Structure 1
Amino acid sequence: MRTVVQHSFGGPEVLELVEAERPQPLSGEVLVRVHASALNPVDAVVRSGNFPLLGEPPFGVGWDISGVVEEAGPGARFAVGDEVYGMPFFPRAANGYSDYVAVPSRQVARKPASLDHVHAAALPLAGLTAWQGLVDAAQLAEGDRVLIHRAAGGVGHLAVQIAKARGAHVIALASEGKHAYLRELGADEVIDYRTTDFTEAVRDLDVVFDSNAQGERSLSVLRPGGVLVTILEHGNPQLAAATRAAGRRFAGISVEPDYASLEAITALVDAGRIRPYVAETFPLAEVAKAHELLETGRTQGKIVLTL
């Protein structure tokens, strides 16, 4: 099979497409023939060495996959031919940029029937991050007022839709050119962070969903007892202490595989409540080009590799 590996830290050029042995599924695992694999910002920082999550190379990055079960180990909860998607093994290596991936069957879910593999692959890591932050940690409820940083990004655009599906009043932060798009997704208010200081524009929020390391500044816009959800500063003890001292609740999120939450996301997708946005696709052989685009940090929605 084809797989992408790297033997050193560095820029996109360190990513190599090589031939490797096809993995064999163990008990409780399925072998997935991958049709699409999405990129996430964590892929780039792990590849570069700025976030040494996987230790020293060689290794392969990539976690989001969508494909078809090719083999099923004893006790696996899917059968050959089932279409599945997920984010297996995170934060350990999954080698998601591969033709085949062997994964625990409880770390993937049945693919949304209304999506092709490209759009399904765009969902797991970003969708689970938003779900685990807003639903599991913040327990976002109908009528809650929530501010979402980087609302047009991979995580943000799904957070906006999940929050609306929960009946929340959504305030989205993004550059002006993305405002119309965010209103189409359901945002009730949109603020241009380039021209407006959000700390002066909003007050008394129930939840802030921070994916931009703006946790300390975000405390002032939360009501007493409000929840700060942070995905970049989840391991910051000073921020956690400051949040509690201010009478707010701290929720640091490090996303993990969760088939039950994926199934809840699937239900919302197939009900027309959530739609992932794919900015661009690349064939697996052009993975370095895909990473170059990823590192611009200006992509709306997700970038996906096709296999």
Structure 2
Amino acid sequence: MIPETMKAMVTMGHGDFDMLVWHEDWPVPTAASDEVLIRVGACGLNNTDINTRTGWYSKAVSEATTGGAYDEVGSDDPSWGGAAVTFPRIQGADICGEIVAVGDGVDPARIGERVITDNWLRDPADPLDKERTGYYGSEHDGGFAEYATIPATNALAVDSPLSDAELATFSCSYSTAEGMLTRAAVTAGDTVLVPGASGGVGGAVVQLAKLRGARVIAMASEAKHGDVAALGADRLLPRDPGDLEAALADEKITVIADVVGGAIWPALINVLYARRPLHLFRGHRRADG
């Protein structure tokens, strides 16, 4: 039986942690037409959630993600999607859970499916229209709650021995990594250098590049080399190898999937083999990554 209220962490506006308010009697949403209602088993937390709350995606903000962007953001300032984020908002994009109800137009046989979420919301009539896209947990309430609705096409059935918590790490990191590799057109002929390979996106890049047949050289703190090797990396380098050009003198790096940014950038340019452009994803990463 679906209850009328649920526990939810609700973001009340742009700001610091004080904008996150815990509720134990928030209304359970109802699946609209072409939507499903998911009982949330687990929901991942990404930098996207933090940056949305702080207002970092606003066009008014120019500082790094580590700053207090919300000091510069007005409530009507457009976010990365072109419109202001409205509040209150339940964030959380990476859900793993079970479909417990469906809206009109959705096959009731889907009730009981174990699913993860595709975070990009699209116009069903024109999925490629970038002006009509949104991000789950930003333009639509997400998964930091016991129940959440989402378009049925964004609820992807899974059959996996992994736990809900493990599967809830996939959606954002793997879609980001796949986007990078698709843009770079990575194939079996490539050698891909991955700074920050021990993080969520970096680890996804390692695995997805290997699935494409590429050779992968991963950079990570030496304490995490065992974990990164288990992902399939062909060669491991320290996070700070000193002279990167010397360390890679015998390699032809054709693609660099950089999820770190910062001071290492000039060195990456210097080791890139001339036949390919550099494909870059800039992200903020913890110092212990």
Normalised by the length of structure 1, the TM-score is: 0.69
Task: Indicate conservation of the 8 Å contact 2:225/2:236, yes or no.
Answer: yes
Letter aligned with residue 94 of structure 1: D
Q: Residues 147-180 of structure 1, C-alpha deviation per residue, up to 9 Å, x if partnerless?
A: 1121000111111111122221111111121112
Please list, as runs of the form range in 1=range in 2, the aligned pairs for 1:202-213 lying within 5 A after superposition: 202=248, 204-213=252-261
Structure 1 equivalent of residue 89 of structure 2: 59
Structure 1 equivalent of residue 72 of structure 2: none
Letter aligned with residue 253 of structure 2: L
1:152 paired to 2:232? no
What SS does the corresponding residue of 1:182 show, helix, strand or coil?
Answer: helix
1:222 paired to 2:268? no
Give the counterpart of 2:99 among 50, 66, 69. 69
Give the counterpart of 2:236 among 177, 181, 190. 190
How many residues align? The count is 238
Structure 1 equivalent of residue 51 of structure 2: 45
Per-residue deviation, 1:223: 2.1
Paired with 1:21 and 1:212, the residues of 2 have a C-alpha distance of 39
Task: Indicate conservation of the 8 Å contact 2:195/2:258, yes or no.
Answer: yes
Task: Indicate conservation of the 8 Å contact 1:112/1:120, yes or no.
Answer: no
Q: Residues 104-163 of structure 1, C-alpha deviation per residue, up to 9 Å, x if partnerless?
A: 1112211242222111111111011111211x2222212410011210001111111111
What SS does the corresponding residue of 2:179 show, helix, strand or coil?
Answer: helix
Please, what is the CA RMSD of the aligned residues?
2.5
Structure 2 equivalent of residue 253 of structure 1: none
Give the counterpart of 2:19 among 10, 14, 17. 14
Task: Indicate conservation of the 8 Å contact 1:3/1:95, yes or no.
Answer: no
What SS does the corresponding residue of 2:177 show, helix, strand or coil?
Answer: helix
Structure 2: runs of 5 or more not aligned: 1-5, 59-78, 122-134
Please list, as runs of the form range in 1=range in 2, the aligned pairs for 1:47-196 lying within 5 A after superposition: 47-52=53-58, 53=79, 55=85, 57-76=87-106, 79-88=110-119, 89=121, 90=135, 92-134=139-181, 136-196=182-242
Q: Residues 76-105 of structure 1, C-alpha deviation per residue, up to 9 Å, x if partnerless?
A: 366111111014342634322111111111
Letter aligned with residue 157 of structure 1: G
Task: Indicate conservation of the 8 Å contact 1:66/1:111, yes or no.
Answer: no
Paired with 1:130 and 1:146, the residues of 2 have a C-alpha distance of 12
What SS does the corresponding residue of 1:204 show, helix, strand or coil?
Answer: coil
Per-residue deviation, 1:195: 3.9
Per-residue deviation, 1:227: 4.0
Larger relative helix fraction: 1
Structure 1: runs of 5 or more not aligned: 234-294, 301-307
Structure index of larger Rg: 2
Q: Residues 165-207 of structure 1, C-alpha deviation per residue, up to 9 Å, x if partnerless?
A: 2221111111121112211221111111324243443353121
Paired with 2:157 and 2:243, the residues of 1 have a C-alpha distance of 42
What SS does the corresponding residue of 1:178 show, helix, strand or coil?
Answer: helix
Segments of 4+ moved more than 4 angstroms: 214-217
Letter aligned with residue 244 of structure 2: F
Structure 2 equivalent of residue 291 of structure 1: none
Structure 1 equivalent of residue 9 of structure 2: 4
Tell me: CA distance 1:32–1:14, structure 2 relative to 1, closer, same or farther (3 Å): same
Task: Indicate conservation of the 8 Å contact 2:85/2:139, yes or no.
Answer: no
